[in-house]
Amino acid sequence: MPQAAEHRQSISYLTRRFKEVGIEPNPRHGQNFLVDLNLLRLLADSAELEAHDVVLEVGTGTGSLTARLAATAAAVVTVEVDRRMYHLASEELIDFANVTMLLQDALKNKNAIHSDVLAAVRSQLAVSTDRRFKLVANLPYNIATPIISNLLAGDLLPATMTVTVQKELADRMMASPSTKDYGALSIWVQCQCQVELIRVLPPQVFWPKPKVHSAFLRLTVDHTLRERIADVPFFHQFVRSMFLHRRKLLRGVLISTYKRELNKGRIDALFERLGLSPTRRAEELDVAEMLVLCDAIRGELAESP
């Protein structure tokens, strides 16, 4: 198995290599390259890859992280939307037979992972019954939320997601009720995952430097937590609906959301039955309370004509 060439992700190497092939980082694709080699190793090591793991990487970049992942994992499916970067990485990864490179967008749309990406991962998982799916990536800031959210919404769940994201996004995923960062994403992630902040990253460890801090984050899917969700798609939509107007009282949000199916009297009776104050807001409910409320609403809808 070829070994990862760590020198390939230094600023001097990147600037020289980009000049040779006549390209520059494209801000539209969120191309900020991690140039601290110790941190690159930390990200890969934090994924705790084993020989039977199948890794999905979104954002191949120059292929430096890809090579390090491929040196340990059974297979790596890596996705790059930038044709120029794809060809550059193809040269760097030519000796890795266990790497599948896809030139495309990882997302079909903001609500779905592209079927070609999922098919490539499934194909590698099918090779052996002991294979396990993991996401490891320096996620471009503009697609980090839909990548994580949509993987949690689907039936192809990664065991872990070890990713670089904007620090603000990490704060939202880890937030507690009644804080400014708490919202639908906080509940959606915490209702299924154990969330661990590995490291906060300053802008200077990237090239070009972003204007914000970043973070390494590891999400470990907890199936015991996920089994509490009776209807995953319904809960996903329900939580997002509850936070469309986060400062409005929860009672008003429910009345507005389900005005065609449930009248005010039924909503008020539901609040009384659950012991919920009509003055509560969505941002005040923890994950367990939101699950109970969602199940109650599903029950009411099932009884509606």
pLDDT tens-digit readout, 130-144: 999 999 999 999 999
- Both tokens assigned to 230: 């009776």
- Provide the pLDDT for residue 21: 83
Separation of alpha carbons 136 and 24, rounded Å? 24
Q: Would the pLDDT of 1 be above 70?
A: no
Alpha-carbon span 243 to 49, nearest angstrom? 36
Per-residue pLDDT of 9-45, as tens digits, reads: 788 888 888 888 888 888 788 889 999 989 999 999 9
Residue 202's pLDDT is 97
Residue with tokens 């991962």: 121
- Cis peptide leading into 177, omega within 30 of 0? no
Predicted confidence band of residue 2 (pLDDT cuts 50, 70, 90) = low
CA distance 262 to 242: 15
Cβ atoms within 10 Å of 84's Cβ, excluding its own: 14
Percent of the chain whose predicted confidence (pLDDT) is above 90: 87
Per-residue pLDDT band for 174 (boundaries 50, 70, 90) equals: very high
Average pLDDT of 179-196?
98
Q: Is 103 helix (H, G, I), strand (E, B) or coil?
A: strand
Q: pLDDT, tens digit, for every residue of 45-81? A: 999 999 999 999 999 999 999 999 999 999 999 999 9
Mean pLDDT for 197-216 is: 96
Domains, the chain: 6-226 (3.40.50.150), 232-303 (1.10.8.100)
pLDDT digits (tens, 9 = 90+) for 240-256: 999 998 889 999 999 99
pLDDT (0 to 100) of residue 3: 52
Q: What are 229's two structure tokens?
A: 């969700």
From CA 46, how far away is CA 61, in angstroms rounded? 20
Tell me if 263 sits within 8 A of 223, measured CB to CB.
no
- What pLDDT shows up at residue 29? 82
Show the tokens assigned to 199. Answer: 């490291």
In terms of phi and psi (left: phi > 0; alpha: psi -120 to 50; beta: otherwise), the region of 16 is alpha
Under a CB-based contact definition with an 8 Å cutoff, are residues 248 and 281 in contact? yes
Query: What residue type is 232 in one-letter code?
Result: V
pLDDT above 60 for 7: no
Written as one string, the DSSP assignment of 155-176 is SS--SEEEEEEEHHHHHHHHPP
- Quick one: pLDDT band at residue 296, thresholds 50, 70, 90? very high
At residue 20, the pLDDT reads 86
93-151 pLDDT tens trace:
999 999 999 999 999 999 999 999 999 999 999 999 999 999 999 999 999 999 999 99
How much is the pLDDT for 305?
74
- Tokens 């199948």 correspond to 54
Q: What is the pLDDT of residue 229?
A: 97
pLDDT at 28 (0 to 100): 80
Interhelix angle 232-242/144-153, nearest 10 degrees: 140
The pLDDT of residue 125 is 98
Predicted pLDDT of residue 83: 94
Q: Supply the mean pLDDT for the chain.
A: 94
